[in-house]
Structure 1
Amino acid sequence: MTLSVAAPAGGAVVALLSTNPAVATVPANVTVPAGATGANFTVSTTAVTASTSVTIWAANYSTVLTVTPVPTLSSLSLNPASVTAGTTSSGRVTLTAVAPAGGAVVALASNNTAVATVPTSVTVAAGDTSATFTVSTNSLTACASSVATISATYGGVTKSAGLTVAPATDTVAIQQADYFANRHELRVAATSTGSTATLQVYVTSTGELIGTLTHYDGNRYSGRFTWPVNPQNITVRSSLCGSATKAVTSK
């Protein structure tokens, strides 16, 4: 506080008052030393859930102090929550109140970095309540979906969200599935959109492996296999996770 003239000998005692001491408290008075024109005093505040204005009085003069909530983490979301391996998802963290001056640094983590990775943190800019970040996914080594749990921590609060990552599959099509009973021979021709795929033929009903097709031109595969009976239906499975099923024609 500041006086209009220097304080007299012995100093000037100025009475202080808060209109809402439950939110902001001040000492009963402050003394301006002799010859000085001002003195400092401390205003102590308590936690609030919403912005609250308090009027602080010094003698017949006043000023308004606004006490704002201390933000914590409100939520973490992923969009989309299911992706194909090798693609990304967008994460969003939201605070309970606006970020303070300098911003709010929210710590991030993934519990399965072989499947999905995140930056170590994301900053909510001062005055904002949310920020976004990118979740990157890796190629999967198995033909099954995997889940990574993404977590965010700020203000002593941690939120988590699950990301399901599905394998990137090729498309398999069967052009020929013929069984020649007199020779006990099964002929199969198929294609895959993945030129590096390995295609294997199975009996659909039992899952028994019949054999591996030969990759002979671009995305085309074929094979001839000795088999005791007509398998009725075959399934061609790719090492890149695609598959197709076709009824076998007797010849």
Structure 2
Amino acid sequence: MNNYEFCVQWILDQRRGNNVRVLDYGCGAGRIVKDLRLQGVEAFGCDVFYEGAAYSSLTDLTSTDGIIVKMEGGAIPFESASFDFVINNQVMEHVDNLDNVLAEVRRVLKPGGKVISLFPDKGVWREGHCGVPFLHWFPKGSRPRIYYAAACRAFGLGYHKQDKNVIGWSQEFCEWLDKWTYYRPRREIDATYDKYFCDVVHIEDYWLKLRLGERKKAATYLPAFAQQLVVRKLAGMIFVARKPL
């Protein structure tokens, strides 16, 4: 089970047969929206469709009026209190102003509605976009990290290599990280979410069991807090927060 499938399953578990409206914030190619609609869920998506991401597999739902819409000026283009759930999957590490985004998410949620967030904080061990450990720990604009990334690639690490030479690939990825990522300490993330939501619950252990599938028994040898820590360090945070009534 991947993250897209996890988000869909989480919504199906939460709705308990009820009719719910779901927004995928930063929906990308719209896979979650499409899969939820196939399950009979009234799902919508929005995205800024920034140039730093790939949308070649963008679902045909964009041609359907109002299902997947482009955001302008940071505003979510839906009415206030119009969704029961908001999903953001690997999105919040790409937003420069987390306060503004969470304020908008809170606005479109119904009272008591929930937001599920999946994204890495700065403490994650591997930079997930390029596959190089700890690359995001270097300061932005740091020259030594280019050579560090090149050394890691020389040992076989890294994604999206194509036919690029080692230094060219390293420099290009570092520039991409500078422009399109904003890794924050967990304490800062927690404090910002607490301004807008309540009842924050981390569910990394639940995510791990679903991801492991038939192998989930292996996770039971670790207590829940240890499972959560492992997931946070290797993949990122997965947590749910609620808009106050």
TM-score, normalising length from structure 2?
Answer: 0.18
- Ranked by relative contact order (alpha carbons within 8 Å, sequence separation 6 or more), the top structure is 2
Higher helix share: 2
TM-score, normalising length from structure 1?
Answer: 0.18
